[in-house]
A and B are shown apart, each in its own frame.
Chain A
């Protein structure tokens, strides 16, 4: 059974700092890995999707890497802003299923002005 773990559970940083969020998964036979953002009282917004054959994806100040063999992914946020404050969720698609996502519990990020 696939299990996804995110560390840290919460992170507080001053504005402008670069930061890294970590995600690990137990079954390396994944189709892809996605990073989502969840704002309070709202649904999830997809940030980056990395296919199993890819090593990284970039979008603006966000960079996500994937090391499938070691079961790890990182989300790097450059020059953090207060508007980046949210819960960041990592999810993997795996287990013979091409649709089911297994989520971590998320990292609650607070960027202080």
Chain B
């Protein structure tokens, strides 16, 4: 079946612009996660959704970052007034209730010039 999909696969933007990154989880997966992978760094947790609620936003690095999830499915991660340090690969994962495994999408590579 279809896995987690993310769009766009690559995004180049200018400093100060806003960007939206999209994640389509596996159908039926109630939990959705966003991670960021910066060059030379490990993956860092950003936010977790259970259904449409985000009980843990502790990983969002600043108030320029926000995320929402609608219909218990698609999620959008928005970065406002992008900075060069926001350049990274943004990975989305989903999991179903009772399954410990998180299934990852291919990521969106964001480059802020």
Contacts and interface: CB of A to CB of B under 8 A. Distances in A.
Given A93-B100, A99-B31, A100-B56, A43 B107 contact: yes
A42 B106 contact: yes
The B interface is mostly helix, strand or loop, or mixed, namely: strand
B21 to A, nearest CB: 14
B59 to A, nearest CB: 8
A89 B105 contact: no
B60 interface: no
B108 to A, nearest CB: 11
A28 interface: no
Contacts of B35: 101, 103
Given A32-B100, A93-B100, A104-B42, A43 B48 contact: no
Nearest to A100: B45
Q: How large is the interface on B (under 10, 10 to 19, 20 to 34, 35 or more residues)?
A: 20 to 34
Interface residues of A, number: 25
B45 A89 contact: no
Contacts of A100: 45, 48, 56, 59
Contacts of A34: 100-102
Contacts of B107: 42-43
B104 A43 contact: yes
Nearest to B99: A49
Interface of B: 4, 31, 33, 35, 40-45, 48, 56, 59, 91, 93, 95, 100-107
Interface of A: 4, 31-32, 34, 36, 41-46, 49, 51, 89, 91, 93, 97, 99-106
Give me the 10 closest cross-chain CB pairs, A-B, nearest first: A43-B104, A44-B104, A103-B43, A105-B42, A103-B42, A43-B106, A100-B45, A46-B101, A43-B105, A99-B48
